């Protein structure tokens, strides 16, 4: 990105945060009912589904017996949460969610530890981000702590759907959609928060599998003054055709960059980390800063905090561009590149295509067969250790 | 926008078009069934709704008795079109449209002429653009001519919902949503095209009403490498909070610009026209070019063609920035600014706020009470004349 645009980006971000703080205030009213977990009404299914053998689970294909819904209206606030049998929603064909992408979502998981207890991982971070998303949709913020209690109750209700075994989990998908059933692009007067859950197996069933990236010079995921830092549906549909084009070229994921210098942004739907010996000769773990174009990932945040606590390497949130990565690769200074997200924890990268050339990314030089570098593996082991209750941490929250 | 970014924008656009042409080929298969109007199956309502008095119509609040739906699957292609009673869609809570904004839409109108005949306006342009949108969603293109025949049949079925009188019309909303009911961001394997219709009154019930614009320096509607030239839902939800902020400041619509020079993009959800005496002293009508960030509006295209046919003024599709507009205003060279879209045809602008200053835009100097400049008024009169069959034109298509 040209320096002038960089300055603009910073300004956009600062002003944007202020603007959105204001609009959030306009859209919500503290006098109206908020989400209250104590008010949950439950209607249990009379036809529980058979469990799917956990080895046969495909991500996002199997859903548990129940779902949580909380309706909202601008006049009446958040209504009583409902836990009801999983099933189709009845949506008016004029609903804003179907026309104008009034929608945002989150992804987190429930893990079963060795003692059989069920745990969440930093759910407060998901609720904070979801409130940031609904604010951007000009919908009201909600009480995140109460929403977590509702989610816990949903997980308890469907606890038989939380698979045993490390790597297995119950994926939890909170979503907010605007249900306003009039046409016209304007603030929605009704919405629905719903949570569905889906049991899933390990992202890497047979151990890590490093992926190749295609640096897309055509499409841009997000931009200064856009919504790249909110988990809006709007950020996702436009990524599918470019992703398919990258696959056709023989690469597994897109490396999103921006500007003439190809500043790194994200990889596929994950945050991106580069571990290298920088030009000053320091060992450094770098990820792009939260300048308004990058999704503030929970895994991203956790990795930064872990790496800083470990010491021994410099940990930076700063701009880094593809030319710098290519130069580091050419000079043998590049150590690891990996994506980070809830689904995979980390995904090691073994190759990046940039302007006609494939840059090979090292994995573990000490283990030629390895599919992950030592830092990515340490991050993975530590985070999954916390998620499954093997390592004591405040980040792991028991669903008691 | 800095010159370097301008070059990038041009490159993005060119490469983007090529890329998307390719992905369109991947996503569609000519061997599978396409939309066939002859195969329409009709199930008529047994409870027709009472008409709403046309003076009481609010845009997008009243819907006719029936809707058109056409389901698609990647394996089976487009299924038989159905005309069925208007009513809620049953959508799985995991459907891609609710999470990833896999959705696009169109807007056009059916007009009743003085002889009672019903007419559409350039529906082929809407179908071409919708195919451009679905392609960007990695969904298959469809036969636009057949889709128009289906829409005509829907309008015929609900013809009592097409109000009489100039300015009144039946708004037609074709929409495509992905119904794939698995999580995971990837190509959708099922989708639904549906069309709903809504009777509406004149956009300006008591004659033109000029609007004020707020030049937003924080939020950016679209970006080179983004999807601003496709009518995707993703372009709309992010506009609502900025629009509300502009209204709070006392302005009616947002003027979208981009880059350090504040290049004009669009106004609200309309294309933008500036009519001025340019720095060379020529009378010129300018609108931003279709560089990939601008929606290719049907009204925009029609105005360009009309103005070129009228002669006497230079008609340009080129970049123009806010500083140039402000300078023209200061120098008394600014003649008119107006938005253009299906809902309003044209919306005159009387004021633009830019960097702390309000620039007053002339309307009709010869008529102090006027709310529209002579060029905007001529455009409006001509286009509505064509739409209501008073002026002979190929653009007006009879629903026989």
pLDDT per residue as tens digits for the range B285-332: 999 999 999 999 999 999 999 999 999 999 999 999 999 999 999 999
Distance CA A13, CA A222 (A): 13
The residues near B48 (Cβ < 8 Å, ≥ 6 apart) are: B65
Q: Residues in chain B with pLDDT < 50?
A: 1-28
- pLDDT given for residue B42 in this prediction: 98
Phi/psi of residue B256, each to 5°?
-85, 130
Contacts of B2 in chain A (CB under 8 A): 2, 4-5
Domain spanning B26-200, CATH architecture: 2-Layer Sandwich (3.30)
Which chain A residues are closer than 8 Å to B63 by Cβ? 94
Helix H or strand E segment including A123:
helix A123-136
pLDDT score at B28: 47
Give the one of A8, A86, A218 whose C-beta lies nearest to B12's C-beta: A218
Residues of B in contact with A90 (CB under 8 A): 88-90
| Third-level CATH fold of A211-391 | D-amino Acid Aminotransferase; Chain A, domain 2 (3.20.10)
> Is B232's CB within 8 Å of A185's CB?
no
Q: Which residue of A has its CA nearest to B195?
A: A93
DSSP A198-267: EEE--SSBTB---EEEEEESS--S--TTSSTTS-BGGGTHHHHHHHHHHHHTT-SEEEEEETTTTEEEEE
- ipTM exceeding cut-off 0.90 for this assembly: yes
pLDDT of residue A30: 60
In this prediction the pTM is: 0.93
Average pLDDT over residues A176-189: 96
On whether the CB atoms of residues B201 and B54 are closer than 8 A, the answer is yes
- Strand (E) or helix (H) holding B300: helix B298-310
How far is residue B175's CA from residue A56's CA, in Å, rounded to a whole number?
35
Domain coordinates in residue numbering, chain B: 26-200, 211-391
Number of neighbours of residue B362 by Cβ within 10 angstroms: 17
CB A299 within 8 A of CB A109: no
Rg over alpha carbons for chain B, rounded to the nearest Å, is 22
Question: Tokens for B37?
Answer: 């109007």
Closest-CA distance, A36 to chain B, in angstroms, reads 22
Contacts of A187 in chain B (CB under 8 A): 240, 244
Strands (E), chain B: 41-42, 66-73, 77-78, 82-85, 89-91, 103-105, 108-112, 118-121, 169-178, 190-200, 211-216, 253-258, 263-267, 270-277, 283-287, 314-317, 334-341, 345-354, 357-360, 396-398
Contact A223 B226 (CB under 8 A): yes
Concatenate the DSSP letters of all residues of A31-68 into one string: TS----GGG-EE---SSPPPPPPGGG--TTT---SEEE
From chain A, pick out residues whose CB is under 8 angstroms from the CB of B238: 136, 226-227, 232, 234
* Closest CA of chain A from B110, distance in Å: 16
Q: How far is B84 from chain A (nearest CA, A)?
A: 12
What's the distance, CA B130 to chain centroid? 11
Q: Are A91 and B88 an interchain contact pair (Cβ–Cβ within 8 Å)?
A: yes
pLDDT tens-digit series, residues B321-367: 999 999 999 999 999 999 999 999 999 999 999 999 999 998 988 88
Question: Across the interface, do A233 and B98 touch by the CB < 8 Å criterion?
Answer: yes
What are the tokens at A220? 């841009």
Residue pLDDT, tens place only, B159-192: 999 999 999 999 999 999 999 999 999 999 999 9
Q: Which residues of B touch A170 (CB under 8 A)?
A: none
Query: What pLDDT was estimated at residue A2?
Result: 40
Determine phi and psi for A302, rounding to 5 degrees: -65, -40
**What chain A residue is nearest to B22 in terms of C-alpha separation?**
A245
Angle, nearest 10°, between helix axes B3-27 and B123-136?
A: 90
Which of B98, B173, B186 is opposite residue A103, by nearest beta carbon? B98
């Amino acid at each position: 990105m040209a320096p002038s645009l960089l300055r603009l980006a910073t300004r956009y971000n600062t002003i944007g945060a202020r603007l959105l703080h204001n609009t959030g205030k306009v859209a919500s009213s503290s006098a109206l009912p908020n989400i209250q977990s104590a008010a949950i009404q439950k209607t249990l299914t009379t036809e529980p589904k058979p469990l799917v053998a956990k080895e046969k689970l495909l991500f996002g294909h199997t859903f548990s017996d129940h779902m949580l819904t909380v309706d909202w209206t601008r006049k009446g606030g958040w209504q009583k949460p409902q836990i009801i049998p999983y099933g189709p929603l009845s949506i008016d064909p004029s609903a804003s969610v179907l026309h104008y992408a009034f929608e945002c979502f989150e992804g987190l998981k429930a893990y079963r530890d060795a003692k059989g207890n069920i745990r969440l991982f930093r759910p407060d971070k998901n609720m904070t981000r979801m409130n940031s998303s609904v604010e951007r949709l000009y919908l009201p913020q909600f009480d995140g702590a109460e929403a977590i209690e509702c989610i816990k109750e949903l997980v308890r209700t469907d606890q038989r759907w939380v698979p045993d075994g490390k790597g297995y989990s119950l994926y939890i998908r909170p979503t907010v959609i605007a249900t306003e059933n009039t046409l016209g692009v304007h603030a929605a007067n009704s919405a629905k928060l719903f949570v569905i859950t889906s049991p899933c197996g390990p992202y890497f069933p047979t151990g890590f599998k490093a992926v190749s990236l295609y640096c897309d010079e055509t499409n841009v995921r997000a931009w200064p003054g856009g919504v790249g830092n909110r988990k809006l549906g709007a950020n996702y549909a436009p990524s599918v055709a470019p992703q398919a084009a990258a696959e056709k070229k023989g690469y597994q994921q897109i490396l999103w960059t921006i500007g003439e210098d190809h500043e790194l942004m994200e990889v596929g739907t994950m945050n991106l980390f580069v571990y290298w010996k920088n030009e000053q000769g320091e060992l450094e773990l770098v990820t792009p800063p939260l300048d308004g174009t990058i999704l503030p990932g929970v895994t991203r945040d956790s990795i930064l905090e872990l790496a800083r606590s470990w010491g021994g390497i410099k940990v930076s949130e700063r701009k880094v561009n593809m030319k710098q990565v290519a130069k580091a690769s050419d000079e043998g200074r590049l150590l690891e590149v990996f994506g980070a997200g809830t689904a995979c924890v980390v995904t090691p990268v073994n190759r990046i295509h940039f302007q006609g050339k494939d840059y090979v990314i090292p994995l573990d030089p000490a283990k030629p067969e390895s599919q992950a570098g030592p830092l990515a593996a340490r991050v993975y082991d530590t985070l999954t250790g916390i998620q499954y209750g093997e390592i004591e941490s405040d980040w792991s929250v028991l669903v008691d």
